Amino acid sequence: MRAPPRPGPGAPRPYHFPATESHLLANGLRVLVAPLHRLPAATVLLLTPAGGEVEGADAAGLAALTAPALLEGTSQRDTNAQAAAFEQLGGEVFSAVAWTHADCGTTVMSSRLDATLGLLAETVMEPALPSAGVARLRDERQAELLQQQAEPRGLADDLLLASCFDAGDRLSRPLGGDMARVAACTDAMVRDFHRSRYVPRGSVLIVAGDVKADAVVRRAEATFGTWEDRTLPPHEGRSRAALPARVRVLHRPDAPQSELRVGHASVARTHPDFHALAVMNAILGGLFNSRINLNLRERHAYTYGAFSSFDWRRDASIFSASTAVQSEVTGPALREMLHEITRIREAPVAADELSLAVDYLTGVFPLRFETTAAIADALAMRIGFGLEPSYYDTYRERVRAVDAAAVLRVAQEHLHPDRLQVVVVGDAGVVEPALGELSLGAIERVSAGG
Amino acid sequence: MTPAPHTHTLANGLRVTLVEDNTTPVVAVNLWYHVGSANERPGRTGFAHLFEHMLFQGSEHVAANEHFELVQRSGGTLNGSTWLERTNYYETVPAHQLALALWLEADRMGRLLPGLTQEKLDTQREVVKNERRWSVDNQPYGTWWEKLPALAFPGEHPFHHSLIGSFEDLDAASLDDVREFFATWYAPDNAVLTIVGDVEPEAALALVETYFGGIPRGRARPALGDLSVPERFEGWRRQVVPDEVMASRLFLAFRSPPFGAVDADVATIVAAVLGNGKGSRLQQQLVRGRQVATSAAAFTFDLSRGRDLLVLDVTARPETSADILEAEVASVVDDFRRTGATPAEVERAIALSTTEFVTSMQSAQSRADRISQYMTYRGNAAELAAWSDRLAAVTTEQVNRWAAAWLGEDNRASLLYVPKATVEDHT
């Protein structure tokens, strides 16, 4: 049988990020509605300016403790009745924290939106924040941290955080806080944090789904309109001093693999080089066919997968490359990773590498926004980082404008091989000699949780 | 909801389901081969999954890793996965790239072998060993994926052995094994193709005919080993697993009706009453009430032949002993069995399961995957559309009858992970 020839693409069909309608309530709460009449479902999400970045380093974990505490009951019902009330409507309520904001919401059939908004208002405006519930959440976070001591990936991620920023910097600790600081968070602190940070002005009620904007606004006025107006100070960004290169090993005797992380602090999410950095990272380690993955996985079979990424933050992000490899090849795998980070700064990327990254990032765009929850989350991200309202409308043309010269420039300006923090969670007896051969500097051995 | 599915069978036996949905200019292509780890020969465990890796290593007109490159270059996402009874491959691409996705899938279904080399097999064998180290050996509780089926199914049963395989069996896999596995299982009459998205069904079907129509039917496929097991475990099988963990975790399995059976819908609601959501019994009573656990969930394996497994997965607080964890979970299950759920609990479970179902249908790929699942296991895509209605019709009485009949001590298998440091207390 003769094979049919490889087809060319058809003509792309237009795609526009869903249009939104915005309305400001008298108390400062913004209502943002994205009507999507696809399936009879709607996602509601209340975003508040109560993210991890507003804490001091000494209170690390307070925001992450406060968000789920909203689900420990309200002035009108206890925690079980609150969960049951949402779930009776078909929605599983969540309340979570990001660095830039906290959000609380659910997805329901749109016919149940009105009742859901009422429950959500009660949850955010009148949480009971009982001592016992806060104590339990604190115990659960501590249990999670204890569990993580047996979890190589989480250990490696947290050790990289701690290596990329000064110890006194909030960003050096996990969003959920660390053992000592979470232990110090009291229920009184949670109530204070809620009182001061969960305010309507600066908060946004996002509704995406099979709804009419004017009906949502009316209902929002009825349910959130009594929330007392107060003003928060605006976010003040600050830059971070660069740290020198360091090598840290967390010893796990007889570990079958080494978890590797290399990275350093990088620029703010709002930096004008964002789109060029996204293209550069896709080529370096973001795509399956990126340089790092093809090298470590497909050429050398060192790993199941290797990649690089930016963990975007408002003031200072983290650039990192990650993988897990058999202990015996820790040295060679690390050398190949460092080689790729250096190489992308030395010469322009090839035309086919560039077009792969640009075509992927622009083409995959509609696929990222198939569901009401994905659209609500995308709006929350945009608002949380303070990006302009046209961010999603201009994203693709900005990515298409990135050329090989721009990729080279941002690689040279924003990747710093001389400042890389190297983190290895593995068998120190095996990996330390290999690290020594790479001459990356003094090796510091650290312990879990330390 | 969007239009009903169109289903066709090509002359070579390939079953095709098409659903038009014009809300987003994307299309999902989803291909299920009715072969999984259950079809492996003794001494070749992990082969179906290793083979899945080989299917991304190129075919006659596609170079190694070019499948990934072409799909990502087109603005699409892709992957594949292997399970006990099936292997799936899928792409979601902008709608105008449908032909490319179909051509890529057809080239490897029809013409894989010319692209095959020993070097590619050796590389992927090492990649899979690293996958095993990463997901099983160096991961707390990671061995549960192989220990629970091993405990729940007898030694020679097709579901008993490891899905990802042992290092020994992976090392033993040869290029001839790859060729034979392909020739046996990767044929159009052993596959189901689903297309969901912004496509015109007649035009899409014409493309399918162009790319897949010339691929010949497969040869006779060997029958699976005996899948029958007793309806119940006929006792409580227990295994204690000392592991590098800081807190105990219990996997408690019950034999339950196979995927697609009427009683499997009831089992879904039973699982949701017990372990889906904050309002579920395990989360209310053990995580928030008595505070002996940090998380709790319940789910089914969706096995379509013999008996399925309904599994509870509960993690203890670090200070809760394994014995107490097991006793507490058992008390929640026993209480449910004895006194039954309330109508409000069943209503909650149905509402939550229905919303999860409807919202999962928003994604073209997850809808396509569920359609492929129904086509492969049940030969019927329309059954999926009726699923939420069937869930909504489950009654409290059915739930309680099910719980009384199947949650007993005569139908349990448990895997209890305990921190190695405390193992002396449990041996």
Name every chain A residue with its beta carbon within 8 A of the beta carbon of B348.
84, 87-88
CA dihedral A137, A133, A95, A109 (to 10 degrees): 130
Nearest to A284 by CA among A435, A438, A415: A415
Residues 144-203 of chain B with CB under 8 A from chain A are 198
| Closest approach of B283 to chain A, Cα-based (Å) | 10
Q: State mean pLDDT over B278-285.
A: 95
Name every chain B residue with its beta carbon within 8 A of the beta carbon of A146.
246-247, 318
Percentage, residues of chain B above pLDDT 70: 98
Q: What is the residue-averaged pLDDT of chain A?
A: 95
Scanning B342-424, the segments in alpha helix (DSSP H) are 343-360, 364-378, 382-385, 387-392, 396-406
Q: What is the residue-averaged pLDDT of chain B?
A: 95
Residues 332-391 of chain B with CB under 8 A from chain A are 344, 347-348, 351-352, 354-355, 358-359, 361-364
pLDDT digits (tens, 9 = 90+) for B384-398: 989 989 999 999 999
The torsion angles phi and psi of B239, rounded to 5 degrees, stand at -135, 135
> How far apart are the C-alpha atoms of A257 and B22, rounded to whole Å?
46
Q: How many CB atoms lie within 10 A of CB A433?
A: 12
B326 touches chain A (CB under 8 A): no
Nearest to A165 by CA among A49, A311, A22: A311
Percentage, residues of chain B above pLDDT 90: 92
Nearest to A406 by CA among A285, A278, A310, A313: A278
Confidence (pLDDT) at A38: 82
Select the residue of B25, B72, B294 nearest A366 (Cβ to Cβ): B25
Substitution target from A43, A288, A322 for chain B, most B beta carbons within 10 A: A288
Burial of B22 (0-12, 13-18, 19+ CB in 10 A): middle
Burial of B425 (0-12, 13-18, 19+ CB in 10 A): exposed
Asked whether B287 and B295 are in contact (CB, 8 A), the reply is: yes
Asked whether B142 and B204 are in contact (CB, 8 A), the reply is: no
| Strand (E) or helix (H) holding B234 | none
> How far apart are the C-alpha atoms of B252 and A149, rounded to whole Å?
25
> How far apart are the C-alpha atoms of A202 and B213, rounded to whole Å?
58
Residues 92-121 of chain B with CB under 8 A from chain A are 92-100, 103, 106-107, 110-111
Scanning B8-65, the segments in alpha helix (DSSP H) are 47-54
**Does B294 contact A144 at a Cβ distance shorter than 8 Å?**
yes
pLDDT category at B423 given cuts 50, 70, 90 is low
pLDDT category at A58 given cuts 50, 70, 90 is confident
Nearest to B34 by CA among B194, B188, B214, B176: B188
Q: State mean pLDDT over B279-290.
A: 96
Q: State mean pLDDT over A100-116.
A: 96
**Does A87 contact B134 at a Cβ distance shorter than 8 Å?**
no
> How far apart are the C-alpha atoms of B216 and B219, rounded to whole Å?
9
> How far apart are the C-alpha atoms of A232 and A198, rounded to whole Å?
10
> How far apart are the C-alpha atoms of A395 and A275, rounded to whole Å?
8
pLDDT category at A366 given cuts 50, 70, 90 is confident
pLDDT at A128 over 90: yes
Residue type, A426: G
**Does B358 contact A39 at a Cβ distance shorter than 8 Å?**
yes
Buried b (16+ CB within 10 A) or exposed e, A333-344: bbebbbebbeeb
> How far apart are the C-alpha atoms of A195 and A203, rounded to whole Å?
14
Q: How many CB atoms lie within 10 A of CB B338?
A: 11
- Taking each helix axis as running N to C, give the angle between helix A62-69 and helix A131-148, from 0 to 180 degrees, rounded to the nearest 10: 130
> How far apart are the C-alpha atoms of B421 and B318, rounded to whole Å?
12
The torsion angles phi and psi of B57, rounded to 5 degrees, stand at -100, 15
> How far apart are the C-alpha atoms of A124 and B37, rounded to whole Å?
48
Select the residue of B74, B354, B363 nearest A371 (Cβ to Cβ): B363
**Does B97 contact A359 at a Cβ distance shorter than 8 Å?**
no
Q: How many CB atoms lie within 10 A of CB A424?
A: 29
pLDDT at A250 over 70: yes
pLDDT at A380 over 70: yes
Confidence (pLDDT) at B238: 96
Strands across the sheet containing A317-326: A303-311, A317-326, A257-266, A421-426, A246-251, A443-446
Confidence (pLDDT) at A264: 98
**Which of A6-20, A196-210, A294-308, B82-96 has the lowest average pLDDT?**
A6-20
Nearest to B198 by CA among B377, B368, B313: B368
Nearest to A77 by CA among A135, A127, A132, A133: A127
> How far apart are the C-alpha atoms of B277 and A89, rounded to whole Å?
13
CA distances to A264, A294, A424 from A172, in Å: 11, 31, 17
> How far apart are the C-alpha atoms of B45 and B166, rounded to whole Å?
7
Cα A248-A252-A256 angle, rounded to 5 deg:
110
pLDDT at A1 over 80: no
| Closest approach of A391 to chain B, Cα-based (Å) | 19
Residues 228-287 of chain B with CB under 8 A from chain A are 244-247, 277-279, 284
| Closest approach of B100 to chain A, Cα-based (Å) | 6
How far is Cα of residue B135 from the mean position of the Cα atoms in its chain? 16
Q: Residue A104: beta bridge partners?
A: A46, A95
pLDDT category at B427 given cuts 50, 70, 90 is very low
Select the residue of B60, B130, B344 nearest A304 (Cβ to Cβ): B130
Q: What is the ipTM of this complex?
A: 0.90
Residue type, A354: L
Would you mind telling me the total number of residues written for chain B in this entry?
A: 427
Name every chain B residue with its beta carbon within 8 A of the beta carbon of A250.
none
Asked whether B312 and B282 are in contact (CB, 8 A), the reply is: yes
Which of A259 and B424 is assigned the larger pLDDT? A259
**Does A140 contact B348 at a Cβ distance shorter than 8 Å?**
no
B290 touches chain A (CB under 8 A): no
| Closest approach of A89 to chain B, Cα-based (Å) | 6
**Mode of pairing for the β-strands spanning B235-243 and B411-419:** parallel
**Does B317 contact A90 at a Cβ distance shorter than 8 Å?**
no
pLDDT digits (tens, 9 = 90+) for B186-208: 999 999 999 999 999 999 999 99
Cα A27-A33-A39 angle, rounded to 5 deg:
145
pLDDT at A448 over 90: no
Nearest to A384 by CA among A269, A302, A297: A269
Confidence (pLDDT) at A423: 98
Name every chain A residue with its beta carbon within 8 A of the beta carbon of B129.
326
pLDDT at A288 over 50: yes
Rg (CA), chain B: 23
Sign of the alpha-carbon dihedral angle for A265, A270, A274, A278: positive
Sequential DSSP letters for A100-166: S-EEEEEEEEGGGHHHHHHHHHHHHHSB---HHHHHHHHHHHHHHHHHHTT-HHHHHHHHHHHHHS-
Q: How many CB atoms lie within 10 A of CB B184?
A: 16
Nearest to B122 by CA among B173, B87, B59: B173
Size of interface A-B (CB pairs under 8 A): 223
Confidence (pLDDT) at A57: 80
Instruction: Map residue A246 onto helix, strand or coil.
Output: strand
Residue in the block written with tokens 């019927």: B380
Confidence (pLDDT) at B426: 47
Name every chain B residue with its beta carbon within 8 A of the beta carbon of A13.
25, 94-96, 198
Asked whether A145 and A179 are in contact (CB, 8 A), the reply is: yes
Select the residue of A12, A90, A370 nearest B363 (Cβ to Cβ): A370
Percentage, residues of chain A above pLDDT 70: 99
